[in-house]
Structure 1
Amino acid sequence: MSVLDLLAHGDGVSRAVAALLLAMSISSWVVILWKAWLLRGGTRDVLRSIAAFWQSSTLADAEQKLKAFDRATLVSPAVSAIRSVAGGAPDGTLGATVDRNQRLTRVLRDALHAALRRLQAGQILLATVGATAPFVGLLGTVWGIYGALSGIAGQTGGFTIDKVAGPVGEALVMTAFGLAVAIPAVLAYNVFGRVIGRIEAELEGFAHDLLGSFGEAPKPAAPPPARPMPV
């Protein structure tokens, strides 16, 4: 017994539940395939991009080299942020009143957040599908069993197990459909989460190194005023 057979004998609610599960399955698989392409070798690409940056002679040279390694555009925004700070803030703006280290910290933080938003895209959808698809399938099963029992109650003749087994078995297909939708989404969410965590650690370390290399050295504190010698 397949979902198509159930839909052929089901009512509007059963068809709506099946359509919702189908939409959840398609959307989750689109996200899974896209994120698999994005994160495939993601840690390796980030490491190669960081190594290429430190081997470059200038920031412009680094940006050119990153085009060959930074496929997901995770490291390049940080390099562009460094160049924007090197140019200085326009006079008469609030940015001009902030010292170089604070401006550098802000732009690196923004670049890191932009990369993390790109990495986290789709994770909420996978988590939602994995958490709700079994219950949507269970709803279809409960409604199917209710309809099957209502139909059996209206039939004439004696009550036999054959009259119950067929309709209930058809309704249970919805639960299996919900699990088939949820399991790939949950597995992909967990695998992608581990990869994203490793990439995030590398990017945070890179941003810290950039701040230490391109930031200004802290100014020495002014010596305390000398105390007058007692007379």
Structure 2
Amino acid sequence: MGVMQLFGQADAIGRTVALLLLVMSVASWVVILWKAWLLRRAAGDVGRSTAAFWQAASLDDARARVAGFDRDTLVLPLVDATRAQPEGSLAAAGDRSQQLTRVLRDALHGVLDKLQFGQVLLATVGSTAPFVGLLGTVWGIYHALTGIAAAGQISIDKVAGPVGEALIMTAAGLAVAIPAVLGYNVFGRRIGRIEADLEGFARDLRELVVHHQQGA
């Protein structure tokens, strides 16, 4: 009831702050749920995909095996990056080892961008939501005190209610920020582990292709 009273008594600025917190909360929870599902599946897929790759008899067979496990296309771009670049282009210039380093690095950055998607939103919500809530509280208190002063009747009973309702905005800001911060930290650690696995695979893949072509 206090929240509805606060929203009903608030002016345009107060309602805007409340709606902004609502949008931030919905957006952060959508990202949290989506990333929890994505990273949980990605952690298993990366392990199964790399294991299937090393069990294959050839690079072509390895790619087919990886495609069967890599549902979010995290390992496959690294495998595809090892294909020879078109002749006559700058991408094909230089030593083959340098080419592989460049294309694998670019492919790895693309994969990591996919894993990192949404982290900026969570960080932004986690760092700004408390201040947005505080702004709503300050403005709500000012609005309430102005209304009480205009009525000409100032007492602790009349001040406590509106001020207490305005403080709900601070609590709302913290309620929006805390899940976003926790999600950012937890997902950051999970992404770090997956990134380490992908970097190790890219390094081993580069060595494999270089030695395979030198022995051919």
Whether the aligned pair in 2 keeps the contact of 1:100 and 1:216 (CA below 8 Å) is no
Q: Deviations over 1:28-72 (max 9, x none)?
A: 111111111110143232111111001112222222222332122
The answer to whether 1:118 aligns with 2:114 is: yes
Match of 2:184 in 1: 189
Please list, as runs of the form range in 1=range in 2, the aligned pairs for 1:204-215 lying within 5 A after superposition: 204-215=199-210
Deviations 1:94-123 (A, max 9, x none): 234312111111111111111111111110
**TM-score, with structure 1 as normaliser:** 0.87
Partner of 1:4: 4
Which of 146, 156, 161 matches 2:156?
161
Secondary structure of the equivalent of 1:205?
helix
Question: Whose Rg is larger?
Answer: 1
| Higher mean C-alpha displacement, 10-19 vs 26-35 | 26-35
Is the alpha carbon distance of 1:170 and 1:22 closer, same or farther for their aligned partners in structure 2, counting shifts above 3 Å? same
- 1:206 maps to a residue whose letter is F
CA drift at 1:214: 0.9
Specify every segment of 5 or more residues in structure 1 that has no aligned partner in the other structure, as ranges. 220-231
Which protein is richer in helix relative to its size?
Answer: 2
For residues 183 and 41 of structure 2, what CA distance do their matches in structure 1 show?
A: 16
- 8 Å Cα contact 1:63-1:76 kept in structure 2: yes
Residues 142-163 of structure 1 show CA distances to partners (whole Å, capped at 9, x for unaligned) of 0000011111111234x32110
Q: What residue number does 1:79 align with? A: 79
- Pick one of 151, 175, 178 that aligns with 2:173: 178
Aligned length: 213
Distance 1:139 1:13, change over 3 A: same
RMSD (CA atoms): 1.6
Q: Which residue in the other structure is 2:30 paired with? A: 30
- Percent identical among aligned pairs is 64
Is 1:103 equivalent to 2:99 in the alignment? Answer: yes
Q: Say yes or no: does 1:133 pair with 2:132.
A: no
| Unaligned ranges ≥5, structure 2 | none
Is the Cα–Cα contact under 8 Å of residues 101 and 216 in structure 1 kept in the other structure? no
Conserved 8 A contact 2:93-2:99? no
Moved over 6 A (4+): none
